[in-house]
Structure 1
Amino acid sequence: MTRRVLGVAFIGVLCFLLWLTYAFYAKVFTETVTVQLKTSHIGLQLNRHADVKLRGIIVGEVREVSTDGDEATVELALKPDQVSQIASTVSARILPKTLFGEKYVALVPPTGQAGRHIKGGDVISRDKTAVGIEIEKVLNDALPLLQAVDPADLNATLNTLATALEGRGTEIAQTLTQLDAYLKKLNPSVPKLVAALTKLTQVSQLYGDVTPDLARALRNLTVTGNTVVEKEQQLQKFFTDVSALSGTADGFLRENEDRVIRLGEVTRPILDLLERYSPEFPCFLKVLTDTAPILNDTFRGGALNINLELITNQPTPYQPNELPKYLDKRGPTCVGKNYSHPGAKPGPYTQDNPAPYITGEDGVIGDHNKNERFPLNLQLNRVAPGAGVDAGSAGGPAEQQVVDSVVGPVMGVAAGEVPDLTTLMVGPLLRGGQVNLR
């Protein structure tokens, strides 16, 4: 039983000694002033028991590092005998001891009035000056690189670089001096250089877009070049003919240059007039197209087919005061079967719906009864009184003699001088035939 008690006591003493060793290492029995440092995620790179320095003197150590996701909180244990030298407005930077060394906290004294010294529970903010922010950014950017680089390889590289640079300090200094001069001259042109590079990028994109078309054009140009080579003789003959034509044209123009100029001056008013009336040309051609079937029907079967239409009043002659005038200012006008004059009945126009009689200001007064027609119910099939023309002799010599004897006095000519067309047109009226002759 005694041995068991002694064994347990021995084990207890060993555990106590181990804890006591840890307590001395962790400085549990050392009196400290605990403060907090609020910094960015770079604070997570600090190790426990990392040094806290003020002007290069160790004034404490790092006890704990934690984060809330937005920033890191570092618990600092400061030496009581040093806190009187540390102002409450002090800021902090996290710096490396060497390139691959551990990080430590460097306290930065304030530049103005120090105020009271730091006390337990105070919170130190990180250095937000330009230098502090730049150092922090360099450390953040360099950490992944330093973790990826093998220290042995880096050491070999630095040794090789040092060997290569040994004894060349003067030359390197001259080179750096010249480079500095070049950069000073280049700096004012940097905005222009950036603008030029931007435009170069745009041009490169444009060239990239047109490259397929350019390649296609080059392939087509190859075919064209081969064709030119094959047709070399024809091209030479063509150029010879063109040269001869050029010589002839040059001689013609030299001899007639005044006439050509005069021709242009003379024809300009005519061309201006044609330009003004150019909208009328398509209508005129359309009317000709519409008229062609009518003309073909008139002369169908190798004979003249006439529709005879009598107007109400005989057109009156022009009066002495109706002198020709050129005052029409209407511009292009074309009366076709679909023409619609303002205020007139619309087309298309036919025999039953005749087009209006429209004239310009040409000096004619009125329509001279040219727009009057017989009523539609006019009877034309009655035999002319006293004509006595037999339908059996239609178109014969007997009918022609009768018609000539009747029409001749009206026309004021002898019966033998009446045209044969008069017999063709008047004969059916005298014998009670139809108005339409076929």
Structure 2
Amino acid sequence: MGMVRRFSTHALGIAFIGVVCFLLWLTYAFYAKVFTDTVDVQLKTSHIGLQLNKHADVKLRGVIVGEVRDVSTDGDEATVELALKPDQVEEISREVSARILPKTLFGEKYVALVPPAGNEGQHIKAGDVISRDKTAVGIEIEKVLNDALPLLQAVDPADLNATLNALATALEGRGEDIAKTLTQLDGYLKKLNPSMPELVAALTKLTQVSALYGDVTPDLARALRNLTITGNTVVEKEQQLQKFFTDVSTLSTTADGFLTENEDRVIRLGEVSRPVLDLLEKYSPEYPCFLRVMTETAPILNDTFRNGALNINLELITNQPTPYQPNELPKYLDKRGPTCVGKNYSHPGAKPGPYTQDNPAPYITGEDGVIGDHNKNERFPVNLQLNRAAPGFAMDSGAAGSPAEQQVIDSVVGPAMGVAPGDVPDLTTLMVGPLMRGGQVNLK
């Protein structure tokens, strides 16, 4: 009998504990709305969705239409599980979007459903996915909440309350002054706004100039250091500089007196020199050619005057150049411009060089009043062999310069020169005689 009573007591205790646990679970179930029918949907949003608490409200046009059941994230976006009231889903379109808004400045967040514009179409159903509001307003609100969250978490509400109270006390009774200040500020802004593009451009250029100055700062610093050295040098050489400036002043005074006294002469010298300089400029292309001809002539002259003697090859011409006539007065009418005839430089229009004994250069004269070439461009027609004895003559060194030799030479050279044998100059005998003897004419 006792054992039965003890068993009944234990059973009643266990039953009592079970009833208590059941009542606790039932209380939680009612709180969690386990027995309430809901339409479960999902909200895909950014990381701001992680700020929602479980059982946070879901509102449409200010009316609570559901609550938040769970919040999760995959690293890229947040997924919010929403439980909507079945009797309210008829008013919620499938095209609805959502924003996450705070109830107060420091209050909890809730989900605000944003109905679509125009025809709403079918209502939302279980398993649908709601996207976040991607309009400009929605994005701006989301950005403000994201940026303000760290601040709100860091600010103590009591300190904020004290700050706001102090601000309200400071502004109390100053509404009219503040209004005037805002009005003036508005006027300033209206005047400043038209100039904003120029201001922005100026700031951009200022940035470029600043960057440029930043790049050249080492050079500027080096220039300043060099300038310091220059300044120290000027200080050290002060006496020499003063003497230099004194000398310059004296020179300036002397030059001023000279120019004042001779200004007319200096001007006249420039006017007289200008035609000469123009002429020199006109013939300036001839100078390089002249120098090249002189360079090529120098070896020939050295060979001609070798061993301290003048060495020449004598060539007889048909007639001596004829004298100038009375009507051949000097004239300066040459208009050809720069002209140069050298060993390898042909005169325009003449036979080409290089010029040699067999291909002599042309006899070129300007319009100087001379008529013809006066036989200067003719060659001897007889084929003479120089430096060899003329055939048919037996002349030895014993007869050199004798009257007999002179008669022989005059009889040969006279017809070639177009004069009588008796009119042949004695100089001809002295020069042609050695040629006929097979010797060489040397002039010293």
TM over 0.5: yes
**Residues 87-136 of structure 1: CA distance to partner in whole angstroms, max 9, x if unpaired?**
55543211233445443211234565666655545554433433222112
User: Of 156, 165, 170, which residue of structure 2 is paired with 1:167?
Assistant: 170
Indicate conservation of the 8 Å contact 1:327/1:361, yes or no: yes
Structure 1: which 5+ runs fail to align?
Answer: none
**Residues 60-104 of structure 1: CA distance to partner in whole angstroms, max 9, x if unpaired?**
112344567775543322223334554555432112334454432
Q: Does 1:198 align with 2:207?
A: no
What is the 5 A alignment of 1:30-49?
Answer: 30-49=36-55
Indicate conservation of the 8 Å contact 2:386/2:435, yes or no: yes
Correspondence for 2:135: 129
What is the 5 A alignment of 1:76-91?
Answer: 76-87=82-93, 89-91=95-97
Correspondence for 1:239: 245
Q: Secondary structure at the match of 2:340?
A: coil
Note closer, same or farther for the CA distance 1:414–1:374 as it changes in structure 2 (3 Å cut).
closer
Note closer, same or farther for the CA distance 1:10–1:212 as it changes in structure 2 (3 Å cut).
same
What is the 5 A alignment of 1:128-277?
Answer: 128-143=134-149, 145-146=150-151, 150-152=154-156, 156=159, 159=162, 163=166, 166-169=169-172, 170=174, 176-277=182-283
Indicate conservation of the 8 Å contact 1:380/1:435, yes or no: no
Indicate conservation of the 8 Å contact 1:403/1:426, yes or no: no
**Residues 308-347 of structure 1: CA distance to partner in whole angstroms, max 9, x if unpaired?**
2426655765897988674544x54433444356788876
Structure exhibiting the larger radius of gyration computed from Cα positions: 2
Correspondence for 1:50: 56
Indicate conservation of the 8 Å contact 1:95/1:104, yes or no: yes
What is the 5 A alignment of 1:4-23?
Answer: 20-23=26-29
Aligned-pair identity (%): 69
Indicate conservation of the 8 Å contact 2:289/2:340, yes or no: yes
What is the 5 A alignment of 1:61-72?
Answer: 61-65=67-71, 72=78
Opposite residue 150 of structure 1, the aligned amino acid is A
User: Of 311, 320, 325, which residue of structure 2 is paired with 1:306?
Assistant: 311
User: 1:428 Cα shift?
Assistant: 1.7
Q: Count residues with an aligned counterpart.
A: 426
Q: Secondary structure at the match of 1:166?
A: helix
User: Of 75, 99, 112, which residue of structure 2 is paired with 1:93?
Assistant: 99
Q: Alignment RMSD, CA only?
A: 4.9
User: Of 271, 285, 292, which residue of structure 2 is paired with 1:286?
Assistant: 292
Opposite residue 310 of structure 2, the aligned amino acid is N
Measure, in 2, the Cα distance between the counterparts of 1:298 and 1:158.
121
Question: Scaled by the length of structure 2, what TM-score is found?
Answer: 0.72
User: 1:425 Cα shift?
Assistant: 3.4
Correspondence for 2:4: none
Note closer, same or farther for the CA distance 1:182–1:272 as it changes in structure 2 (3 Å cut).
same
Measure, in 2, the Cα distance between the counterparts of 1:124 and 1:287.
103
Question: Scaled by the length of structure 1, what TM-score is found?
Answer: 0.73
Measure, in 1, the Cα distance between the counterparts of 2:262 and 2:373.
50
